[in-house]
């Protein structure tokens, strides 16, 4: 028998909420089916830091009927949750109607991820939100969103460029007394990727701002008060890799994984 002192530590199990493709292109061969998926960069980002990544398919079967596995069962099996990017949130999730049809988002995903987020908080499991994930956290905490930055803020800098995609960047400014400033040794001005046309309008309850876009004040990072670790970033740290000039994403993920490790310790 292997002595306890030299047994291998179990890798952290990090859950990833899925993106949902409700109407797959015919050429994919899934006629009248729904696909749930994740973009591989985010899984590999987690795995490079010696944690296991698991996609958490929705619990709906046939629309709104719950499967035999409950949300609490899901959450009890993971050490932390990452809410990934993707489709817009449906404005009805924060009490508005879509100003344009293409901003209708994905209401089914909203409902699932809000439930998933709340169960993680209830069980004290750390949560990391990326892009849409930050917006989801804000809405789940009672906040709202700008349905389109360019519409609400005509003088805002571009936060998305469909041609440049993840090559589009802009500066952020980290709040001096924030946890984020601590992670980066007090250095507060950085460059990040930017792939979003929506942003926080009304900040949710018990959330604090950790970083903004200095040119227009758009909120770029948040953290939740209290004992449960919840943080969100409007940019995509998983896309930064080792790109010169961009904010090093490792401290963000290592801080999240450290919280997951503390939570999973007996």
- Contact between 35 and 24 (Cβ < 8 Å): yes
Element (H, E) at 140: helix 132-140
Distance of CA 78 to the CA centre of its chain: 16
Helix (H, G, I), strand (E, B) or coil at 168: coil
- Contact between 13 and 77 (Cβ < 8 Å): yes
DSSP state of 4: G
Name 107's Cβ contacts closer than 8 Å, sequence gap at least 6.
Answer: 90, 92, 93
| Cα distance between residue 67 and residue 55, in whole Å | 17
- Contact between 190 and 184 (Cβ < 8 Å): yes
- Residue 101 sits at φ, ψ, to 5 deg, of -55, -40
Question: Which residue numbers are catalytic?
Answer: 131, 236, 238
């Amino acid at each position: 028998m292997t002595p306890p002192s030299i047994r291998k530590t179990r890798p952290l199990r990090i859950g990833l909420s899925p993106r949902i493709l409700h109407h797959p292109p015919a050429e994919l061969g899934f006629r009248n089916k729904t696909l749930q998926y994740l973009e591989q960069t985010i899984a590999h980002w987690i795995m490079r830091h010696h944690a296991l990544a698991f996609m958490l398919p929705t619990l709906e079967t046939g629309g709104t009927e719950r499967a035999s596995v409950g949300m609490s069962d899901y959450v009890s099996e993971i050490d932390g949750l990452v809410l990934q990017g993707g489709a817009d949130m449906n404005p009805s999730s924060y009490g508005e109607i879509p100003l344009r049809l293409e901003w209708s988002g994905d209401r089914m995903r909203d409902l699932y991820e809000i439930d998933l987020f709340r169960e993680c908080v209830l069980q004290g499991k750390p949560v990391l939100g990326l892009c849409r994930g930050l917006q989801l956290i804000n809405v789940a905490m009672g906040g709202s969103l700008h349905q389109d930055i360019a519409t609400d803020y005509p003088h805002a800098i571009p936060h998305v460029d469909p041609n440049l995609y993840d090559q589009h960047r802009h500066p952020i400014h980290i709040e001096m007394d924030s946890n984020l400033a601590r992670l980066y040794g007090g250095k507060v001005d950085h460059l990040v990727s930017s792939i979003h046309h929506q942003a926080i309008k009304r900040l949710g309850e018990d959330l604090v701002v950790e970083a903004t876009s200095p040119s227009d004040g758009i909120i770029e990072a948040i953290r939740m008060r209290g004992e449960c670790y919840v943080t969100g970033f409007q940019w995509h740290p998983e896309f930064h890799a080792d790109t010169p000039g961009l904010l090093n994403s490792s401290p963000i993920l290592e801080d999240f994984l450290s919280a997951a490790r503390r939570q999973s310790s007996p």
